Homo-oligomer: A and B are copies of this chain.
């Protein structure tokens, strides 16, 4: 069977999808902002559904807005092969993160259909709701619910910055019904595969077109609420200050220092946001909220970093009289890829004479949660300079095409058994 990926079609669809965006134009590239359940996100979903209908796929939407696109196999009683990713985007992001796995998954299915392939197992393309944590502060909302990692009650009570609950927001967006209906049974997918840009520099640096992901790093995120003592910037004298922003600055540097101190390249720690109260040039900051993202492939090492940060926080509190409250947003264990799927991917690459390497995913993905209910693996393709979450994020049509062809061939192999 000769599988031909239509790169023009796929590239043009990626461009069209990128046009659903709330980002102002950027000189750095195609800027995309697409936050879950905004009108922009809903329009992008409609665009995707139209394409999938044209490809003859059956559509199912669940109560949190995950969308399933199904190509029925010759034996519908067998557990399907799944693939997919997300289409939401953080503010000022790029056009390839997630979208390559969704539109690329669709293209893989179309290429298999056009090659005359008839799967024995059904093949399902899945678009996950809110992989990005932008709106509700927690990533992989859709896949956490699908895998039973997040309770329906906790999920519905999540609030956005306008104090609207997930329940309100999803209902307004047209996704109603109880979240308890979202969870999939264990073994729902016989095998699960996700195609994604690497979001790191390794494949490009080594000149390799494909990465086969053997493990996904364990992410954790925390909020820190600092409370000091505010006042007039002219009149509150230096010795009397309990400046919450100065304390926050020490905490930010503590995170950096302790992350570097593990000596492991796989440990990454980032303070990505800081909200300052009252936030006026002539007012001493009385309250600051920081958000920390901490990841490692080794959960114990990740824990050692947060413990070292906590020791620094104790010292900061004692020294400055600023109180710091820590809130764990989420801390997930790492996932390991399934040996059968990894072997299938290796065979596909060897047969097609495509160079590849086995590697770890330092970014986390919906597949991290899908691993709790199904065997998983991921396919990485290189992206320019390893850059992601920015307008200059870029993957070439050729790189995407190679990824889609490997995905299609692997799905064909797995769906035939």
Contacts and interface: CB of A to CB of B under 8 A. Distances in A.
Given A91-B280, A246-B256, A286 B234 contact: no
Contacts of A267: 238
A233 B198 CA distance: 13
Among the interface residues A90, A232, A243, which one has the most CB atoms of the partner chain B within 10 A? A232
A326 to B, nearest CB: 15
Interface stretch (A79-87, A349-357, A387-395): A387-395
A273 B265 contact: no
Interface stretch (A119-127, A131-139, A174-182, A338-346): A131-139
Given A246-B252, A272-B279, A364 B234 contact: yes
Contact of A237 (B243, B268, B293): B268
Nearest to A294: B233
B253 A270 contact: no
Nearest to A97: B232
B249 A253 contact: yes
A70 interface: no
Contacts of A274: 245, 274, 276
A238 B259 contact: yes
A346 to B, nearest CB: 23
A383 to B, nearest CB: 9
A273 B282 CA distance: 9
- Range class of the A interface residue count: 35 or more
Interface in A330-387: 361-364, 386-387
B268 A236 contact: yes
Interface in A193-237: 198-201, 217, 219, 221, 230-237
A120 B203 CA distance: 86
Contacts of A272: 233, 245, 276, 279-285
A330 to B, nearest CB: 11
A364 B234 CA distance: 7
Interface in A288-303: 291-293, 295
Count identical subunits in the complex: 2
A238 B268 contact: yes
Given A256-B243, A284-B270, A284-B272, A278 B389 contact: yes
Contacts of A90: 278, 280, 282-283
A199 to B, nearest CB: 4
A167 to B, nearest CB: 22
A292 B361 CA distance: 40
A285 B273 CA distance: 8
A281 B233 contact: no
A234 B91 contact: no
Contacts of A279: 91, 272-273
A279 B260 CA distance: 22
Contacts of A132: 280, 282
Contacts of A253: 246, 249-250, 253
Nearest to A388: B232
B238 A295 contact: no
Given A245-B252, A277-B92, A293-B282, A268 B234 contact: yes
Nearest 9 A-B pairs (CB), nearest first? A234-B363, A199-B235, A249-B249, A200-B235, A233-B270, A281-B291, A249-B252, A232-B388, A233-B293
15 contacts: A90-B282, A133-B281, A199-B235, A201-B237, A230-B390, A232-B389, A234-B295, A235-B362, A235-B388, A240-B386, A243-B256, A246-B252, A272-B282, A281-B291, A283-B389
